[in-house]
Each structure stands twice: as C-alpha cells, then as structure tokens.
Amino acid sequence: MDHARRNYRRGLCPEGMSSFSMAIRETDLWVAVGGHTPEVEPVSKDFQNEFATFVWRQRRLLEEYIAQFPFFGETFEPCLASPGAPPIVLLMVRAGNIAGVGPMAAVAGAFAQLAGVWLLRKYPQVIVENGGDLFVFCLHRVKVGIYAGSSLFSGKLAVRLKPGGPWGLCTSSGTVGPSFSHGRADAAVILAKDALLADAIATATGNLVQSTADLGNAVDFAKKLPGVEGVLVIKDDKMAVWGDMHLEEI
C-alpha cells in the first residue's frame, strides 16, 4: 500500500498547486493547495505547523473518546455516540450508520475532510489525500488514478472529477492494504460530496464482493444510499460502474 500510495501521490498534484506531506501517527496526509491564479506559492512552515496542530487536536479528541469508549474503535456495526461526543465522532457515527458499518470505517475520510475544510479557510483550491481517500475542492478538473492491486485495470484508469466540489473520493480494497474488509474486491470506489460518507460506503460496498459475480449487487447497494454520486467496483478482470464516475485511460 505504501508503494502504491507514493506512486499515486507523485502524479496527483495539479499544475498551479503547491503540495506537502504530514504524518501524525497513523494519519498520513498529502496536501495540495492553490489560489485563484496559476502561480505556485510555497506553503510556509508556520502554516504547516498550524495545520499539524489542528490535525493533532482532532486525533487527540478521537483517541480520548476511544479510550473512554473502546467499543467505538472495535465495532464493525452501526452504533450511537455518547452524549457530549466531539464533532469528529458524531460525523463518523453518522457516516457509518448510513452505510451500515462501524464508525471507524470512516476514519480516513474524516481526517481528509476535516483537514480539507480547515484549509479552505485560506485557500480556494484544496486536495487532501489520506491513505487513498480524498477530499477535493478545485476550480478545474482533477484526474485521480485508480490502484486496484493485481487487477488488469490497476494503474490504467483515472476518475475525472468536475470542477468545484467538495468531492469525497474514497476506495476500499479486500486485496490491497492493511484496512479490514469482509470482501475481496480489488477496489470499491465511491464518489460523494462527503468524504466520510464515501469512505464508509466504500467499505460497505467492498464487503459485498467475493467474486466477479457480486459486482452488480455491490453497485446496486451503493447507488441506493443517500449522498452517493458515483460507484466503481473492480474485481479481477471485471468492473461495474454507475453514476457520475467519469473514467479515462491513463
């Protein structure tokens, strides 16, 4: 997964945007930001430090909640948040409950989205990638390559996102990476306006795929959930696509 992520990040930064990476424990973020003009302005160290402080605070809120309520970090089923739970917990619970999975299925999307919204206070164009899950708000089209393990489609397809946003584009895999999946999909990719929702539904969709015969049912499941804009599911030499998922060959 690390190798795939490095390749993926190398070609992600659009022209006119400046990028940097930041890792805080398991949260491994790649960030690109840009203005209204094509000039590239480096991101200052002071701003990167301010951003790191924001991300660290969100992690601390989540870790403290899990320490108090370990079930939250362990369950694979929808659950409720306790009274007074921090916003990141509430957002994760909501996404997991819509998708029918545990709240931790939305954790990567949560940090991508919270970071992206925070960055939008300063920059009109923002991309945040966290373990293959993306928050995107750009003034021009962005192409995102799809990595699908040993599938023949891996590294040969890209999703083209329309200008504007925000977009959440998230991927779950049962054959690539450390994340848990009940399924064997090479890639279950969900496009939504909400990165947490895209992350949780990608997990739920991937859980349904054991063989190529399951692709249609997986897409049918995902497209019925509120907020889903597009679906792409890949297994071996087959794929199924629905909605606003515009694909291009790389």
pLDDT at residue 131, as a whole number: 87
The dihedrals phi and psi of 65, each to the nearest 5 degrees, come to -65, -45
User: Region 221-242: what's the mean pLDDT?
Assistant: 97
For the segment 7-50, what is each residue's pLDDT rounded down to a tens digit?
455 556 777 899 999 999 889 999 999 988 877 888 999 999 99
Relative to beta strand 18-24, strand 27-34 is antiparallel
Spatial distance between the Cα atoms of 122 and 203, rounded to a whole number of angstroms: 32
Residue environment code for 198-217, b if the CB has 16+ CB neighbours within 10 A, otherwise e:
bbbbbbbbbbbbeebebbee
Does residue 191 sit in helix, strand or coil?
A: strand
Q: What is the pTM of this model?
A: 0.92
If pLDDT is split at 50, 70 and 90, which confidence band does 230 have? very high
pLDDT at residue 7, as a whole number: 47
For the segment 140-182, what is each residue's pLDDT rounded down to a tens digit?
999 999 998 889 898 899 999 999 999 999 999 977 766 667 8
CATH of the domain at 158: 3.10.520.10
Angle formed by the axes of helices 87-99 and 107-119, nearest 10°: 130
Does residue 20 sit in helix, strand or coil?
A: strand
Cβ-proximal residues to 65 (8 Å cutoff; 6+ apart), any chain: 72, 85, 86, 89
pLDDT at residue 70, as a whole number: 97
Domain count, the chain: 1
Domain that residue 186 falls in: 2-249
Spatial distance between the Cα atoms of 238 and 46, rounded to a whole number of angstroms: 47
For the segment 82-137, what is each residue's pLDDT rounded down to a tens digit?
999 999 999 999 999 999 999 999 999 999 999 999 999 999 999 999 988 999 99
